[in-house]
Amino acid sequence: MFTAPSATTRSLPSPAPLVLPGDAIHAPEVNTLRGHGTRQSAHDRASTLRATQAGVVERINKLVTVRALRGRYVPEVGDVVVGRVTQVQISSRRWRVDVQARQDAALLLSAIPLPGGVQRRRTPEDELNMRAVYAERDLISAEVQEVKADGTMMLHTRIQGRLGRLRQRGVLVAVCPAHIRRSTRHVVSLGYAGMAAVLGVNGYVWVYVESEATALDGGEDEEQEMAAEMPTDAAVGGVTAPSRPQALALCRVRNAILALDVSCFSISVESIRAVCRWSEAVPPADMLQPAFLERLQAQLAASA
Amino acid sequence: MRPVFLQVGILDRASGSAYYEAGNTKLVAAVCGPHAVTQREGDWERALLEVSFRRAGWSSHGIGEEGRVSKRDPGHYGEIADAAQFEQDGVLGSGDSTTHNDMEREAGLFLSRALESVLLLRQYPGAQIDVSVLVLEEDGSTTSAAVTVAALACADAGLDMVDLLVGSTVALRRDESGGRQASTEPDMEGERQAVDGLLVLAWQPSLCRIANLRWQGGVEDAREEDGSSGVAAAEAFSTALEAAISAGAAMYQAVRLSLEEAAQ
């Protein structure tokens, strides 16, 4: 079917013990790396390790962390994220982008490829034309260039074609960032009804219509993470509305992603495709009903 | 002790939220953040914690009136003298403005201190965390309820906390035989009858530490003429503190249950 999620992602709301802030965590005195979500009293070396978050204890070799059940995205350099532009700050030569994190990310004017593709100094005309590049409420995909000490994220969109404004026919889905694993490819073709997606590590997923193929792909399609047709607006002139079969497929993929999120399952090409296939008997609108979700969770548990 | 109902995650838009109901005391807490700070002031090394404690104008019977607010009683709105005051206070009204606002301010400070003792604010430099508590209906033990519900909302929001917080209130009064009687989580009537002392405790249940505490000693003890007034007062205080800590432990079980249920 599809590869089981790695040990760092829970497959289901499991019977793993839940810790609350202040609970003691069993860990050997030496040989333990205390990670995120844990704390040992700074004054008392002999004190027990305690949780600072409500979540599940995870142990990977010597590292002990508490993974919070509900948490914002914590950025790392190199992450591909999807964000929505909230502000155009011409005076500071930057855009502010919402990426579901503690603070809005910053995209500097110097971090984008200029139209014309030539490397040159930014002129005052470029500053005044910032809105022509990205305006408020635009969706963009970007890569995290730098994370400052106070948590501010600096983005860049320098990779032509893969990063930049998302203008394809599609829908944005917001999920919990913990359910999307970091991997080498984030712009993926789903192999289902011509849909593709940009899986932002920050929990924003942009699902879009990749090609005209609306027929379901056969099971022989084994290429799991093909590079998708570019999601950014290079070739698309005007954006036309999706046809009805495409719109239904979009809804199905969107609801599949939401169903995976609600079930605390890892969101990847394989899992999205599997849920879409399992759900074909059910209209997309019913995919988020409790009846379907229970059957889905049972099937996920069975195949994990 | 009155049975208590706790529910976590009742507001979708807030980072974290919680609802508390015990008897006729009903509170809602909401946490927003950490988000980019709106005013630059203070220490950049830690998050700015903004605590707001408000009582809805309809929440209580008015200051100094007898009787309890029952579920069927629509209650009174805070006094709105005229249009100018309405413009200033809004529909929530103000009641007796000095007493009403003083109580809110005091409760807000109490809550703020208690939260600062558990929140690891240095994990969020340069950010701001807003915690708001709204008292929907008030029937005693409001400040301690605010502590419990605010900490629950912070845990729901996934903020780094050293420990949870539980609040408890103990009212001391004399019964017929002259002995001291402690009642935990008193309602409004119980608070009024607490002539021997009233203790409001904010308690860290796992670390067994006092986060904040407010004690109003009894009038009777102060009047003793021999040197025993100090002893009597100390006894009263320790009785109240013990009762408050055990009530806090019971409340902690309810808090754990509500968080565990929310995780399912």
- Tens of pLDDT along B243-264? 999 999 999 999 999 998 887 6
pLDDT mean over A152-180: 85
**In chain A, which residue's Cα lies nearest the Cα of B44?**
A150
Peptide bond between residue A115 and the one before it cis (omega within 30 degrees of 0): no
Q: In angstroms, what separates the C-alpha of A283 from chain B's closest C-alpha?
A: 26
Give the CATH fold of the A80-244 domain.
OB fold (Dihydrolipoamide Acetyltransferase, E2P) (2.40.50)
Angle between helices A290-303 and A244-262 (to 10 degrees): 70
Counting one residue from chain A and one from chain B, the pairs whose CB atoms sit within 8 A come to 78
Q: In angstroms, what separates the C-alpha of A56 from chain B's closest C-alpha?
A: 10
**What pLDDT, on the 0 to 100 scale, is given for residue A219?**
32
- Lowest-pLDDT choice from B71-80, B141-150, B161-170: B71-80
**In chain B, which residue's Cα lies nearest the Cα of A101?**
B35
The DSSP 8-state label assigned to residue A77 in this structure reads T
pLDDT(B202) > 70 = yes
pLDDT(B77) > 70 = no
First to last CA, chain B: 28
Domain-wise residue ranges, chain B: 4-263
Query: Which of A18, A22, A71 lies nearest to residue B164, judging by beta carbons?
Result: A22
Query: Which of A54, A72, A103 lies nearest to residue B155, judging by beta carbons?
Result: A54
Q: What angle do CA A139, A131, A200 make, to 5 degrees?
A: 20
- Tell me the chain A residues in contact with residue B158 when contact means C-beta distances shorter than 8 Å: 53-55, 68-72
Strands A170-174 and A204-209 turn out to be: antiparallel
pLDDT digits (tens, 9 = 90+) for A77-89: 888 999 999 989 8
3-state DSSP assignment of residue A250: helix
Share of chain B above pLDDT 70, in %: 76
Q: In angstroms, what separates the C-alpha of A51 from chain B's closest C-alpha?
A: 7
Torsion angle, CA of B226/B231/B232/B234, rounded to 10 degrees? 150
Q: In angstroms, what separates the C-alpha of B128 from chain A's closest C-alpha?
A: 10
**What pLDDT, on the 0 to 100 scale, is given for residue A82?**
94
- Tell me the chain B residues in contact with residue A71 when contact means C-beta distances shorter than 8 Å: 158
Q: In angstroms, what separates the C-alpha of A281 from chain B's closest C-alpha?
A: 27
Give the CATH fold of the B4-263 domain.
Ribosomal Protein S5; domain 2 (3.30.230)
Q: What angle do CA B239, B243, B246 make, to 5 degrees?
A: 145
Q: What distances in angstroms separate CA A295 from CA A14, A302, B49, one per listed residue?
A: 16, 11, 43
C-alpha–C-alpha distance, residues B62 and A283, integer Å: 55
Any alpha helices (H) in B44-136, and if so which ranges?
83-89, 97-116
pLDDT digits (tens, 9 = 90+) for A209-264: 886 543 333 333 333 333 444 555 444 455 677 788 888 899 999 999 998 888 77
pLDDT(B39) > 70 = no
Q: What single-letter amino acid sits at A123?
A: T
Record: contact B124-A23, CB cut-off 8 A: no
**What pLDDT, on the 0 to 100 scale, is given for residue A92?**
87
**In chain A, which residue's Cα lies nearest the Cα of B46?**
A150
3-state DSSP assignment of residue A289: coil
| Domain A6-68 part of CATH 2.40.50.100 | yes
Mean per-residue pLDDT of chain B: 79
Query: Which of B33, B35, B158 lies nearest to residue A70, judging by beta carbons?
Result: B158
**What pLDDT, on the 0 to 100 scale, is given for residue B57?**
78
At B150, the pLDDT band (50, 70, 90 cuts) reads very high
CB A250 within 8 A of CB A170: yes
**What pLDDT, on the 0 to 100 scale, is given for residue A218?**
33
Domain-wise residue ranges, chain A: 6-68, 80-244
- Tell me the chain B residues in contact with residue A54 when contact means C-beta distances shorter than 8 Å: 155-156, 158, 259, 263
Mean per-residue pLDDT of chain A: 78
Q: How large is the ipTM?
A: 0.74
**What pLDDT, on the 0 to 100 scale, is given for residue A182?**
79
At B226, the pLDDT band (50, 70, 90 cuts) reads low
Sign of CA dihedral B60, B61, B64, B66: negative
At A5, the pLDDT band (50, 70, 90 cuts) reads very low
With an 8 Å Cβ cutoff, the interface of chain A facing chain B consists of: 13, 18, 20-24, 37, 39, 50, 52-55, 68-72, 102-104, 149-152
Give the residues across from A63 on adjacent strands: A33, A60
At B223, the pLDDT band (50, 70, 90 cuts) reads low
pLDDT mean over A276-297: 85
**What pLDDT, on the 0 to 100 scale, is given for residue B153?**
95
pLDDT(A60) > 70 = yes
Interface test with B, best of A18, A65, A72, A102 (most B CBs within 10 A): A102
At A6, the pLDDT band (50, 70, 90 cuts) reads very low
- Lowest-pLDDT choice from A39-48, A174-183, B119-128, B218-227: B218-227
**In chain A, which residue's Cα lies nearest the Cα of B16?**
A70
pLDDT digits (tens, 9 = 90+) for B103-112: 888 899 999 9
Q: Which residue has the higher pLDDT, A93 or B218?
A: A93
pLDDT(B132) > 50 = yes
* Nearest C-alpha neighbor of A68 from the set A29, A31, A102: A102
Q: What is the residue whose two structure tokens read 């002893």? A: B231
Sign of CA dihedral A264, A267, A273, A274: negative
**What pLDDT, on the 0 to 100 scale, is given for residue B224?**
55
pLDDT digits (tens, 9 = 90+) for A112-157: 887 766 677 778 888 888 888 898 989 999 999 998 766 678 999 9
C-alpha–C-alpha distance, residues B218 and B105, integer Å: 23
Interface test with A, best of B161, B166, B203, B208 (most A CBs within 10 A): B161
pLDDT(B222) > 60 = no
At B34, the pLDDT band (50, 70, 90 cuts) reads confident
